[in-house]
Homo-oligomer: A and B are copies of this chain.
Amino acid sequence: MAPATVRAAVCGATGYLGAQCVEILDRHPGIELTRVLGRGAAGRRFSDAVPGSRVTLEVDAGVDPGDADVVFAALPHTVAASHVREWLSAGRVVVDMSADFRLRDPLAYARWYGVEHPAPDLCEEAVYSLVELHRDAIAGADLLAIPGCYPTASLLATVPALRAGLVETEITIDAKSGVSGAGRSPALAYHFAEVNESVSAYGVSGHRHKSEMLQELAAAAGREVRLTFVPHLIPVTRGILATVYLRPVAGRGPADVTELMRELCDGNPFLRYADRPPATKSVTGSNVAAINVTDQDGVAVVTVVADNLVKGGAGQAVQAANLRLGFEETAGLLGASPWP
């Protein structure tokens, strides 16, 4: 049953993830965007802070979602966690795009993020909302934790094969991300003349997103997984590519992984099996993740591409909210080409 119109607020609305969320909600047939919140641009029209947007709501300071039924939060870590209880207690659904509720274990959060969790008791309640892998749990949850862009691409490539027992638990993931993944705050590391015409690895000793991957991979495998994960910065605005190296267990081969992934794609509106390793450009601006499996001398090389701000962020947030709120899974997610 389709719900009556739902009112939504977006926190952190003028960052890239928040702005992407605003654009999607603005086109959503069942959701009315009633409030956009953001510190930096408070008092300005949204379209003045985000070039090209047709949303002219005034940006509010603070984190009061007003009469919104659902809150989409694209805030720095710890900020959303400090307000979620208040939002939930007013009967709202909360869709959090930060890292705050991705880890079930508040101690792991403290270890990886270097700060105590502001609402440790809520960690257990949150649902890790990588839709295609956790569809059933989402429908009944009030606190949806949207995975990061790296985990989205990486887990789509690995969890199905681990669940099916097809591959070894020693896994290497080499990921490449566009620069918008680093957000909209200026810094030398994302200054045009430094980034342009260059590629480099970063976070090699241990990127924070590794923590949620370890959690999800262990759950899929039923035991610890030995993961090596190296992210790279690529001079494109949008796009993420995970190149995943999986070794089939004895008696299995890359073809089994291929078949499994074809089936997964067939059953999900936003997954597409690509006959050749897909280019990030083939999914730019869309909520689709494209997947290929290729056999290289017995190793299953899985490549997954997505738009880091859509399927790797705000698109997945709306996709998960659609399931929770009773909309079509694809509602509001078939158009859109926003900034940046």
Interface positions of A (Cβ within 8 A of B):
16, 27, 51-52, 172, 174, 176, 178-180, 184, 186-188, 190-202, 204-206, 226, 228-230, 232, 234-239, 241, 243, 245, 277-286, 288, 290, 292, 294-297, 299, 301, 303, 305, 334-337, 339-340
- CB neighbours (8 Å) of A188 from chain B are 184, 186
Q: Given A184-B193, A193-B190, are A51 and B282 neighbors across the interface (CB < 8 Å)?
A: yes
Does the CB pair A51–B172 fall under 8 Å?
Answer: no
Does the CB pair A179–B192 fall under 8 Å?
Answer: yes
- CB neighbours (8 Å) of A232 from chain B are 176, 241, 243
Q: A201-B241, A201-B243 are in contact. List 14 more A-B contacts (CB 8 A).
A: A172-B172, A179-B193, A179-B196, A186-B187, A186-B188, A191-B191, A196-B340, A197-B284, A198-B236, A206-B297, A228-B301, A235-B236, A282-B339, A335-B337
Of B190, B198, B199, B286, the contact of A337 (CB 8 Å cutoff)? B286
* CB proximity of A288 to chain B, nearest CB, Å: 8
Of B237, B243, B277, B336, the contact of A197 (CB 8 Å cutoff)? B237
Does the CB pair B206–A296 fall under 8 Å?
Answer: yes
Does the CB pair B192–A196 fall under 8 Å?
Answer: yes
Does the CB pair A228–B186 fall under 8 Å?
Answer: no
Q: What is the bound-complex CA distance between A314 and B176, given in angstroms?
A: 28
* CB proximity of A253 to chain B, nearest CB, Å: 13
Of B27, B230, B280, the contact of A243 (CB 8 Å cutoff)? B230
Of B16, B284, B301, B339, the contact of A201 (CB 8 Å cutoff)? B301
Does the CB pair A285–B285 fall under 8 Å?
Answer: yes
Q: What is the bound-complex CA distance between A235 and B199, given in angstroms?
A: 9
- CB neighbours (8 Å) of A290 from chain B are 52
Q: Given A51-B278, A190-B191, are A199 and B340 neighbors across the interface (CB < 8 Å)?
A: no
Nearest B residue to A227 by beta-carbon distance? Answer: B297
- CB neighbours (8 Å) of A282 from chain B are 51-52, 198, 339
- CB neighbours (8 Å) of A230 from chain B are 174, 243, 245, 296, 301
- CB neighbours (8 Å) of A237 from chain B are 192-193, 196-197
- CB neighbours (8 Å) of A337 from chain B are 284-286, 335-337
Does the CB pair B51–A205 fall under 8 Å?
Answer: no
- CB neighbours (8 Å) of A191 from chain B are 184, 186, 190-192
Does the CB pair B286–A199 fall under 8 Å?
Answer: no
- CB neighbours (8 Å) of A226 from chain B are 297
Does the CB pair B245–A228 fall under 8 Å?
Answer: yes
Q: Given A51-B279, A206-B296, are A186 and B190 neighbors across the interface (CB < 8 Å)?
A: yes
